[in-house]
């Protein structure tokens, strides 16, 4: 039974990774005809629908109405971070940068999480975290300068700032989520429900609701259903079923490389050599950091 559960977890994890690998392409296709806030509006509505259906099918819809007052207030804070601020920054980055640049930069959020955990969660900063940071951010510079790191001339400084800013918000969101006792799917649904009126007002005051592009709407619906909705659900169940969470977690390293395949064949972007080099540095740094953290978890004493 243990082997069967791990096999199911790996399949669910692979399905989630496959979906996540397509979203950089979906972002760019949608942003050809929608603004970032319009994309976020449509995607959020689609995500609310799919998460609601998941809870209804599972017979867990009642959990939406059974939280404490503190948890509902927590949903407000978390909803303003994700989806509101995080996706506005992320979509803004994809609107300005080629997908092959914006997507790898976003993966550095895991490193930012390790650094923010020091002041906010009281965790220690290890030498491996510092070395991983040097490797990862050297990859960021290689990608952002398109292979000319010594020049420090960025192709789009504001776009790079948006991408790196999204990693800061995403890492901050997960630090707050360490105290989140809500059911994961219920919590994510409430985040979107609470954020939707804010997103709607911002869209109305800025870009308006001219959403007549079929390609834009189709892409936004895809993002909401799969990137914001089903992929999260699949990944959550994969981690629950896994007898080895590390093996499932390692699947995420497949996503950025697979994403480049979709970017090349669907978007038609010529993948620069600097993108490959930078991505290898980023993923290599993250892998080194996670490997070192797992080794410490095995060797360090757990009791007090």
Cα separation, 99 vs 216, in Å, equals 16
Cα separation, 288 vs 111, in Å, equals 11
Asked whether the predicted pLDDT for residue 301 surpasses 60, the reply is no
Range scoring the smallest mean pLDDT among 37-51, 179-193, 209-223, 233-247 = 233-247
Nearest to 292 by CA among 131, 167, 168, 162: 131
Cα separation, 189 vs 236, in Å, equals 14
Asked whether the predicted pLDDT for residue 1 surpasses 60, the reply is no
- 89-131 pLDDT, tens digit per residue, is 999 999 999 999 999 998 888 888 888 888 888 888 888 888 9
288/197: higher pLDDT: 197
Kindly indicate the confidence band of residue 298, based on its pLDDT and cuts at 50, 70 and 90.
Answer: low
Cα separation, 279 vs 139, in Å, equals 6
**Which residue ranges make up each domain of the chain?**
2-299
pLDDT at residue number 300 = 60
Burial per residue of 62-84, b for 16 or more beta-carbon CB atoms within 10 angstroms, e otherwise:
ebbeebeeeeeebbeebbbbbbb
Contact 112, 167 (CB under 8 A): yes
Residues above pLDDT 90, as percent of the chain: 60
The enclosing H or E element of 52 equals helix 36-57
Cα separation, 102 vs 159, in Å, equals 8
- 67-81 pLDDT, tens digit per residue, is 999 999 999 999 999
Q: Could you give the C-alpha distances from 141 to 70, 159, 161, 164, 255, in angstroms and in order? A: 42, 13, 12, 12, 21
Tell me the whole-structure pTM to 2 decimals. 0.91
Asked whether the predicted pLDDT for residue 303 surpasses 70, the reply is no
Asked whether the predicted pLDDT for residue 245 surpasses 90, the reply is no
Range scoring the smallest mean pLDDT among 23-27, 139-143, 153-157 = 153-157
Contact 136, 283 (CB under 8 A): no
Mean pLDDT of 179-202: 94
Cα separation, 298 vs 125, in Å, equals 17
Cα separation, 174 vs 201, in Å, equals 26
């Amino acid at each position: 039974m243990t082997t069967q559960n791990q096999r199911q977890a790996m399949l669910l994890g692979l399905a989630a990774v496959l979906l996540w690998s397509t979203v950089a392409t979906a972002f760019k296709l949608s942003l050809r005809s929608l603004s970032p806030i319009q994309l976020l509006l449509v995607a959020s509505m689609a995500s609310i629908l799919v998460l609601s259906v998941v809870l209804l099918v599972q017979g867990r819809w009642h959990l939406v109405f059974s939280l404490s007052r503190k948890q509902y207030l927590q949903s407000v804070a978390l909803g303003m971070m994700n989806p509101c601020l995080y996706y506005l920054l992320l979509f803004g980055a994809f609107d300005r940068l080629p997908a092959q640049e914006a997507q790898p930069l976003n993966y550095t959020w895991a490193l930012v999480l390790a650094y923010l955990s020091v002041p906010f969660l009281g965790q220690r900063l290890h030498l491996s975290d510092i070395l991983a940071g040097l490797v990862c951010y050297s990859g960021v510079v290689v990608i952002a300068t398109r292979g000319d790191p010594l020049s420090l001339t960025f192709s789009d400084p504001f776009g790079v700032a948006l991408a790196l800013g999204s990693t800061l918000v995403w890492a901050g969101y997960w630090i707050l989520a360490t105290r989140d006792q809500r059911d994961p799917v219920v919590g994510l649904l409430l985040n979107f429900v609470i954020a939707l009126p804010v997103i709607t007002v911002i869209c109305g005051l800025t870009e308006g609701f001219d959403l007549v592009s079929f390609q834009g709407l189709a892409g936004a619906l895809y993002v909401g259903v799969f990137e914001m909705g089903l992929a999260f659900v699949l990944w959550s169940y994969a981690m629950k079923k896994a007898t080895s969470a590390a093996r499932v977690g390692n699947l995420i390293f497949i996503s950025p490389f697979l994403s480049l395949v979709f970017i090349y064949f669907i978007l038609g972007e010529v993948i620069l050599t600097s993108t490959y080099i930078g991505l290898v540095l980023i993923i290599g740094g993250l892998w080194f950091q996670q490997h070192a953290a797992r080794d410490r978890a095995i060797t360090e004493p757990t009791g007090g």
